[in-house]
Amino acid sequence: MHSLLIGKLSVGLRMQILDGKKAAQAIKDELRIDVAQRANEGKKIPHLAAVLVGNNGASETYVAAKVKACEETGFKSTLIRLDADISEYKLLEVIEELNTDTDVDGILVQLPLPKHIDDKKVINAIHPDKDVDGFHPVSVGKMVEGIPSYIPATPYGIMLLLEHYKIETKGKHAVVIGRSNIVGRPMSILLSGNSNPGNCTVTICHSHTKNLKEICLQGDIIVAALGIPEFVKGDMVKEGAVVIDVGITRVQDSTRKSGFRLKGDVDFEAVAPHCSWITPVPGGVGPMTIAALMKNTFNSCAAKN
């Protein structure tokens, strides 16, 4: 549906698509060459270990996509599946084994975890040197200080996407909707940093923000990461804005074999005509998140070997 709409809108309008699939492919292609070169030189190739607890459908899909990306780029991957009722203690033991396994460069624990497990405890148990998801407090602290570190994959992917399409961010007003530790908050830090992309004036909004529509209307760049399908409407976006849709929600769709389809946090059809650039869902931020994870894992391997 998007491609039809995109075709229609492209005629006579300047709206362009930030194609995450294409940009992610370019990053993975580069990584594949770098990995092949390492292999030729007899150096270690990157190894990502993914831990999946339970059988949540969305988590299964995300982990499968990450394992596939490893195959495409020539990385080694290990998928560790654990029962939903595994104890927190046992899970921490698994993490410790991966921490001490010298062949493993990056560890990712797919979130969310079952309710009886404290995800903060699990994240904190990952050795900072292998924290390729960038959620460990050491990684977060370094990111805030501007010290090179693992940046959380989704905000890092968005920065790479802005870089890929040479979107000017300096001096722009960025409105970030959502303040989670994995998307909104790190996004606001990165966009406000003295970097390129970056150097934005950032407003971070959340569930208690008043006058959200007025704030969004001031945004040259809007990053929507709240998890409410089609929350951002056409009348919330100023002409020429760059809109990044992070949201992924499965909504029921009986016409699909899967029984659902993915919806972003932005009402694409209503918002797109106002934008200079916009990400689609799917095919926008999602693939970039995976590309960023691959980059973090490659860097971990290269730094240690």
Q: Which residues are catalytic?
A: 66, 110, 133
Residue identified by tokens 């919330």 is 236
184 touches ligand NAD (CB under 6 A): yes
Contact segment (CB under 6 A) with ligand NAD among 41-49, 113-121, 135-143, 207-215 equals: 207-215
Which of 63, 104, 158, 226 contacts ligand NAD by CB under 6 A?
226
Residue 179 interacts with ligand NAD (CB under 6 A)? yes
Of the candidate residues 99, 180, 203, 299, the single one contacting ligand NAD (CB under 6 A)? 180
Per CB under 6 A, 177 contacts ligand NAD: yes
Cα separation, 235 vs 213, in Å, equals 8
Residue 178 falls in which region: left (phi positive, over 0), alpha (psi -120 to 50) or beta:
left
Q: How many residues does the chain have?
A: 305
Nearer to ligand NAD, 50 or 226 (CB): 226
What separation in angstroms does the CA of 132 have from each of 197, 227, 255, 293, 301?
21, 23, 38, 6, 10
Q: What is the C-alpha end-to-end distance of the chain, expressed in Å?
A: 46
Cα→Cα distances 193→131, 186, 283, Å: 22, 11, 26
Count of CB atoms situated within 10 Å of the CB of 170: 11
Q: Which residue is nearest to ligand NAD (CB)?
A: 180
Going residue by residue from 270 to 299, which x/- string records binding to ligand NAD, judged by CB under 6 A? ---------------xx--x----------
**C-beta separation of 223 from 197 below 8 A:** no
- Rounded to a whole number of angstroms, the minimum distance from the CB of residue 181 to ligand NAD is 8
- Binding segment for ligand NAD (CB under 6 A), chosen from 33-41, 77-85, 246-254, 293-301, is 246-254
- The site for ligand NAD (CB under 6 A) is made up of 154, 177-180, 182-184, 205-207, 209, 212, 225-228, 246-249, 285-286, 289
